[in-house]
Amino acid sequence: MEGIGYKILGALLTTLLAFTVGMFYAGFRRKIIARIQNRVGPPVYQNFLDVLKLLSKKTSVNHGIMQHLAPLWLITMSVSTLMFIPVLKDGLFFTNLNFSGDLIFLLYIMVFGPLGMALGAGQTGNPNSAIGVSRGLTQMVGFEIPWIMAIVALMIQYKTTSVTGLLDIQSQNGTWMMFSSPLAFIAALLAMPGMFRYAPFDIVGAPAELASGPISEFGGKYLSTMMTSGSIFAFVKLTLYVDLFMGGASNLIELVIKTFALYMYPVLWGAVSPRFRTEQAVRYFWGWPLFFGFAALIYAAF
Amino acid sequence: MYNDKESQKIVDIIQNFARKHSLFVLAYGTGCGAIEIPPTMTSRYDAERFGIRGAATPRQADVLLITGYLATKTLKRVIRVYEQMQDPKYVMGFGSCAINGGMYWDSYNTINMLDKYIPVDVYINGCMPRPEAVIAGFVKLQKLIQEGKADGWDRYKKNLDEYRANQKKIITNWVMPDFNR
Amino acid sequence: MSSLVILILIIAGFALLSYFGHSINKTAGNIAVFAAAVLIPLYWFTRVDFSETVSFTISGFQMELGYNMYGKLFSLIVMILSPLALIYALGYMKDSKRTGTFYFSFLFSILGMTGILMSRDFISLFIFWEIMTWSSYLLVIFLGKDVEKTGIRYMVFSALGAYAMFMAIVIIHRNTGSMMLNDYFNAFGNFSTGTKFLTGILLMFGFALKSAVMPVHVWAPGAYSNTPMAYTSVFSGALSKMGVYGLGFVVINLFAHANLHFAGTILAWLGAVTAVLATFSAIFQDDAKKLLAYSSIAQLGYIVTGIGIGTELSIFAGLYLAVLHAAFKGVLFMAAGAVERQAGSTDMTEVTGLIRKMPLTFFASLVAIIALAGVPPLGGFVGKWMLYESLINNGNFLMVIMIFLSSTAAFLYSYKFLFGLFLGQEEPEFENVKEASPLMTIPMLLLSVFLMITGSFPGIVFKYIAEGMTDLGFHDVNWQMSVLTNAWGDSVNLQHVTLSIGVVFVVFLIFLTWKGYKKTYYVSTKDISSSGEVIKPEDNMTYSTDFYKPFERVLHPILKRKIEKYYDEFGEGIGALFDFMRRIYTGNGQTYAFYVIVFLVILLVFSKNIFGY
């Protein structure tokens, strides 16, 4: 059980699971948006084909070492964040390194990728990329504040900063944190669409105005690595929300049901939304989400 | 194993399957045909069924659509965009203007045969082709990709000198960066 | 003779030697500076006896020099950063004039810092403090740029701090009859409430001023960015830490001897406000030096917050951040200096695309920026983590939010620094820029190696911090080589973190760079997807003006008011007052005679009250 072989197998299995689930979720998203727009839409496995096609491109172009490394930073961040998140409550293969990190660490490692990506996008010299990065970082300052407020509220209320500790408390109390600390849940939920960058917060990629922003100079194997990373990271974010607020999951089916239910919220909101301007997005995050964050903090502290 | 011909064949089949079903389209609106792209993509005809979706920049794109007549000024940009795309890449010519100049065949500022300047894989006839015809063109392109016959990018690389000579005849002040592959 | 006195004499000797060396010729002076950079730390590390004390009496005042472990921790910063900065300066100041004065002031400020850290009484502390202040003032005005504004600001504020400190010393001497620091702390509990507040606040004001805490930070941006960059790395990295050093022992000893926790809380709040506002200011700077200067203020805000909270973990975090800040801000100022020297400017709207011209400088700045942003797996994360955890464990949730806001917003200026100078399109204007000389790059790279090691093994720094904290009254400080633990028992295993990140990174690096059947081409930054337009070499497409315009629109209501304005208005008021005073001195003898008569009349009228008879 403690052998290094099991550990490596578990890590590979977790990554594969995250990739598959994330890819299918993205496929479902495209399908759902198509149905909302009264279209048939692509098959749900379309994103696998996209990744495979991009991977089978015969050439790739980069503008220098930072652009070459940019997708690498992203996928390193996604996979290593995955390693520190409890995917299942007590799985044999999905334990990985859960006990070596805590929530503050997770918050910080989650910006490792975007920052590296931003550096790569900066090196391309494409003005659209730089504008996209400027918008993305601004938006990040927006949504991180209510999100950290929600998390700090949980930490202060339950006197632990580790995800596994919060999971244990939920199973001991027999209730989910979305019920035992609802204000924090609301704040985190309101900040969530910003994290996923779907409409109305798709101001970074904005294909119609920025020509897909930071990724505009990436193609072939770079873009395929980035899509892979994106799907893994979507799974990571959903799993983190489920672990924090919905009591985690004890088997894969439960996990898929919970994460999919959660995933529908940004997707459905995005499907019917236009796009915010950057300052509107930040003002949105510093409005009601911030209010609920403060309320959660006060609720937790007193 | 890696250079083995049989396994390479299997890899090719898988890759061509992926390429065929995932076409990122760079709709470069050169002429009047650009207006046919939105109906092709949206609810009525829904090209996304075939895995066709828009790409924002040439780096991400697979298919370049030349939608209609091509002015000599635009040709320079088209060549630039085409050379920025990653292999394998495909070109679709829309309408009679792309085939032989159409009603602009004797105009001083449009080119007559697109294939002389960049290799075209699929032509769609009509003036302009309706979305149904566009989709039919895409299906044809998919078939060619599956069979491995959509090799315009390869022809362009092999016959680069010829294409360049033709391009330079039209574009007199040639300041383009080198095509580096 | 005692090793401490010898140390001070050696530094003073090298200062004179490099001054006279430079007045003979440059080579002789440079050899003297290089010898100083090697021999001073060598002597400090091998010969200085840290248990030794030297005491002597001058005109009735007892003075005592001697290290404690807390001072040793800060000396470590001085003794590692300053020699590297000196070696860097050899490259940086190669073509400058008046280098003799520069190195003289430089070494004298090292002397001042070394002296402060071994003073055990207020008199020697004050003397060394003034040596440090004046030598740094000479360097602030060294380039002769903007002397009226930044030079005078720095001098006025330093003088204010010195007066405050001097007042405190006088009051303390009247109350205790001794000049020793320990006597003050021991007697503190018995002071009257007024004296407690007065001495504490005056001392804190003096120290907080040097560490650029919010209301008295205005001298810092100008002073940091106007000084030659070779010195600014020490100025921001080590000299400002003297304020932190002072705040640390004052705050903590006052906690220990009298329950004054709210004073620490106020200090912590000031630190948090400083961090947030300075970060916001840094984001909108277009000059890389100004950006780094504001960022220094923000980082010192974190440190002050950590010290002010006063729990074990928070002080630990504050001291750790102080060490780390010296390293990464040292690298960043050196990098800005290298860019200034090689490319001629640090204006981020002008300089672009130096990454392929100056790869080593870029690499060092990248490492330093990652450490600054606090992203794992580099050393900066450790400090950030401990600070957050200490604040959360302590229940200071609003302060956590402020610090978090500040460090999230720090990503904005971190990125802007790297993007503005090194990334973006490569311009023909900077085609002939070369990498800086090895004298400049090697110190940067050494410091960035230190930053990388502390990411997985922060224990090498923890050891000295734990020793230093025993002198502040914290015994049995828990630390492990690479595991961080907070008060609730939650921990981060840094080796697992580094291992996981490293393995994934290497796997995908091989995947991406493995040639295989795919060809990867390098294209120039002029070959971008720009709707088919061919970009001419002289067209600059880089987006760097008004880089964070949307964020500026968001923050507009907050940033409308600037604290400098209040100081300027105050200064104008004072100017008007003295303008009025000047009118009294007419220069006419009769007027003065009239004044004398009036004075005598007043004396006569009130003589009984004044002289008591």
**For the residues of C202-259, what is the DSSP string, one character each?**
HHHHHHHHHTT-GGG-THHHHHHHHS-HHHHHHIIIIIHHHHHHHHHHHHHHHHHHS-
Q: Kindly identify which residue of chain B lies nearest to residue A46, measuring between CA atoms.
A: B51
Least confident piece of the model among A88-97, B103-112, B170-179, C293-302:
A88-97
DSSP helix/strand/coil, B137: helix
Among C285, C284, C279, C288, smallest CA distance to C335 is for C288
Distance from the B75 Cα atom to the nearest Cα atom in chain C, whole angstroms: 10
Flag whether pLDDT at A161 surpasses 70: yes
Q: Is pTM, for the whole model, over 0.95?
A: no
Phi-psi region of A198 (alpha: psi -120 to 50; beta: other; left: phi over 0): beta
Structure ipTM over 0.85, yes or no: yes
Q: Which 8-state DSSP code applies to residue B71?
A: B
CA atoms in the 13 A half-sphere facing the CB of C541: 23
pLDDT in tens, A46-64: 999 999 888 888 888 888 8
The closest CB to that of B177, out of C527, C529, C532, belongs to C527
* Under 8 Å between Cβ of C153 and C116: no
| C459 within domain boundaries | no
Residue C504 half-sphere exposure toward CB, CA atoms < 13 A: 25
pLDDT given at position C613? 46
Is the Cβ of C23 closer than 8 Å to some Cβ of chain A? no
Residues C468/C120, Cβ–Cβ less than 8 Å: no
Contact C482, C495 (CB under 8 A): yes
Gap between the Cα atoms of A183 and C597, Å rounded: 77
Contact A38 B88 (CB under 8 A): no
What residues make up the domain containing C580? 561-611
Q: Is residue C293 part of a domain?
A: no
User: What are the helix (H) ranges across C235-358?
Assistant: 240-257, 261-283, 288-309, 312-343
Residues 546-575 of C with CB under 8 A from A: 547-551, 553-554
Tokens of B146: 């599956």
- Alpha-carbon distance C479 to C465, whole Å? 10
With a CB cutoff of 8 Å and minimum separation 6, the contacts of B142 are B20, B21, B23, B50
Cβ of residue C529 closer than 8 Å to a chain B Cβ: yes
Q: A-contacting residues of C 400-419, CB under 8 Å?
A: 400-401, 404-405, 408-409, 411-412, 414-415, 418-419
Residue C193, exposed/middle/buried by CB under 10 A (0-12, 13-18, 19+)? exposed
CB atoms within 10 A of CB C227: 27
C105 inside domain: no
Strand pairing report for B63-67 and B90-94: parallel
- The string over B67-77, giving b where at least 16 C-beta atoms fall within 10 Å of a residue's C-beta and e elsewhere, is bbbbbeebbbb
DSSP code, position B64: E
Q: Considering only CB atoms, which chain C residues are within 8 Å of A152?
A: 392, 397, 400-401
Neighbouring chains of C at 3+ CB pairs under 8 Å are A, B
Distances (CA, A) of C300 to C217, C220, C321, C490: 11, 11, 9, 27
Q: For chain B, say whether C534 makes contact (Cβ under 8 Å).
A: yes
DSSP state of C180: B
- The residues in B 126-145 lying below 8 A from A, measured between CB atoms, are none
SS3 assignment, position B178:
coil
Domain-embedded: residue C482: no
pLDDT in tens, C196-219: 778 888 888 888 888 888 777 888
Question: pLDDT tens digit string along C317-340?
Answer: 888 999 999 999 999 999 999 998
Three-state secondary structure call for residue C492: strand
State the chains in contact with A (3 or more Cβ–Cβ pairs under 8 Å): B, C
Tens of pLDDT along chain B (181 residues) come to: 456 777 778 888 888 888 888 888 887 777 788 888 888 888 888 888 888 888 888 888 889 988 888 888 888 888 888 888 888 889 988 888 888 888 888 888 888 888 888 899 999 888 888 889 989 999 999 999 888 888 888 888 888 888 888 888 888 888 777 776 6
Q: What is the pLDDT of residue C609?
A: 55
CA distance C314 to C390: 5
Selection from C387, C385, C381, C379 nearest residue C454 by Cα: C379
Interface test with C, best of A119, A151, A160, A209 (most C CBs within 10 A): A119
Residue C573 lies in a domain: yes
* Beta-carbon separation of B56 and A34 below 8 A: no
Strand partners for B25:
B54, B63
The whole-angstrom distance between B77's CA and the closest CA on chain C is 4
More confident: A296 or A94: A296
Is the pLDDT at C427 greater than 70? The verdict is: yes
Task: Give C471-510 pLDDT, tens digit per residue.
Answer: 777 777 778 877 877 777 777 888 888 888 888 888 888 8
Tell me if C531 and B77 make a contact (CB, 8 A cut-off).
yes
Asked if the Cβ–Cβ distance from B78 to C532 is below 8 Å, we say yes
Domains of chain B: 11-170 (3.40.50.12280)
Which tokens belong to B6?
């049989």
Q: Kindly state the tokens that stand for C158.
A: 């330093």
Is the Cβ pair B80, C533 closer than 8 Å? yes
Neighbours of C597 (CB within 10 A): 10
Per the CB < 8 A criterion, the answer to whether B105 and B143 are in contact is no
Domain coordinates of chain A in residue numbers?
Answer: 4-301
Q: With contact defined as beta carbons under 8 Å apart, do A171 and A126 qualify? A: no
Indicate the number of domains in chain C. Answer: 1
Contact check, Cβ <8 Å, C411/A137: yes
- The per-residue DSSP string of C36-61 comes to HHHHHHHHHHHT--TT-EEEEEETTE
